[in-house]
């Protein structure tokens, strides 16, 4: 028997070509055992949500789930090479938080046992809404000396589509920064929408703008009354109830149309206790108008 075994071994190890044949046979035997054996294989795979009503949007949900597969190696190999997606049917969901049993999830595989590491998943749903939003344009730089921005006209409307609760809080959408440095003439440009919200889609990725540049000028107002923001029961005495002199600058065509009612001057004392204060009035002006000088800059205020 030993002689037969020795002869058999020598047949494969003496000749190099036979060594290769032996390796191929060994690998084939291992592969056969591997693909026919039963194993456990665990991995995280993505979730696909289907059949959601056009009237709803998903506001929060899981994107992946840990799954354990059990079956023959030949079937598990396909899972390793090309993982399937978990199918979650949202036909019966309603607005709010929906708890879905993993028993209702579908993993499209054959001849494998599938188990999840959790019994339930949650999917938050809200009603879909549509709303016009105002683009907010950050500005950097300043026009050339002697010039100023008159207006910035947004030439495109931006419509937001998304969760109703999210849109109720959304009134503006931020665009990328507009550079007006050293500009001396009206120009048209395009800016990208910079705001990113997972549950909201915007009708435009870019918006067109017309930036109107005009020569700059100054304008002076006198005796502008100061509004006092106070609580019921608060009494106040000030040494001056007006801004005696206010000098502003901006585009000439804007200043020509401005009057004293376009400027708001106020002092808030609602958060202050009784006592003596020296406060700077808050001066609120239209867009693209800047303050050059105001007098007085500080006002003595007594609160009782």
Look at the domain 128-215 and name its fold. Answer: RNA Polymerase Alpha Subunit; Chain A, domain 2 (2.170.120)
pLDDT-flagged residues of the chain (< 50): 1-2, 4-5, 8-9, 11-12, 18, 21-22, 24-34
Whole-angstrom Cα Rg for the chain? 37
pLDDT at 21: 47
How much is the pTM? Answer: 0.69
Domain positions in the chain are 38-126, 128-215, 217-303
The architecture that CATH gives domain 38-126 is Beta Complex (2.170)
Look at the domain 217-303 and name its fold. Answer: RNA Polymerase Alpha Subunit; Chain A, domain 2 (2.170.120)
Identical topology for domains 38-126 and 217-303: yes
Determine the straight-line distance between the first and last CA of the chain, rounded to whole angstroms: 117
User: 59-115 pLDDT, tens per residue?
Assistant: 999 999 998 888 877 777 777 778 889 999 999 999 999 999 999 999 988 878 888
Contact at 8 Å (CB) between 299 and 266?
no
pLDDT at 30: 40
pLDDT at 17: 56
Burial 235-248 (b: 16+ CB within 10 A, else e): ebebeeebbeebeb
Residue reference for tokens 């009494």: 235
């Amino acid at each position: 028997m030993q002689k037969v075994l020795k002869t058999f071994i020598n047949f494969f190890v003496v000749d190099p070509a036979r060594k290769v044949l032996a390796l191929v046979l060994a690998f084939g035997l291992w592969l056969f055992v591997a693909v026919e054996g039963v194993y456990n294989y665990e991995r995280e795979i993505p979730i696909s949500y289907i059949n959601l009503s056009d009237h709803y949007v998903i506001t929060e949900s899981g994107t992946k789930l840990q799954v354990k597969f059990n079956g023959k190696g030949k079937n598990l190999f396909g899972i390793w090479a090309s993982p399937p997606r978990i199918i979650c049917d949202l036909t019966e969901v309603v607005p709010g938080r929906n708890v879905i049993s993993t028993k209702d999830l579908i993993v499209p595989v054959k001849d494998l046992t599938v188990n999840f590491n959790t019994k339930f998943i949650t999917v938050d749903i809200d009603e879909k809404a549509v709303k016009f939003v105002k683009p907010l344009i950050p500005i950097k730089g300043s026009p050339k000396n002697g010039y100023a921005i008159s207006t910035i006209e947004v030439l495109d409307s931006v419509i937001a589509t998304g969760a109703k609760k999210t849109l109720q809080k959304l009134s503006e959408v931020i665009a990328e920064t507009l550079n007006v440095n050293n500009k001396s003439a009206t120009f048209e440009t395009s800016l990208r929408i910079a705001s990113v919200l997972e549950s909201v889609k915007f009708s435009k990725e870019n918006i067109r703008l017309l930036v109107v540049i005009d020569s700059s000028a100054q304008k002076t107002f006198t005796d502008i009354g100061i509004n006092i923001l106070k609580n019921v029961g608060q009494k106040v005495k000030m040494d001056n109830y007006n801004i005696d002199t206010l000098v502003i600058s901006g585009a000439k065509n804007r200043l020509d149309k401005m009057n004293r009612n376009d400027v708001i001057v106020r002092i808030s004392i609602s958060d202050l206790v009784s006592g003596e204060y020296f406060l700077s009035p808050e001066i609120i002006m239209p867009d693209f108008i800047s303050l050059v000088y105001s007098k007085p800059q500080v006002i003595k205020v007594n609160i009782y």
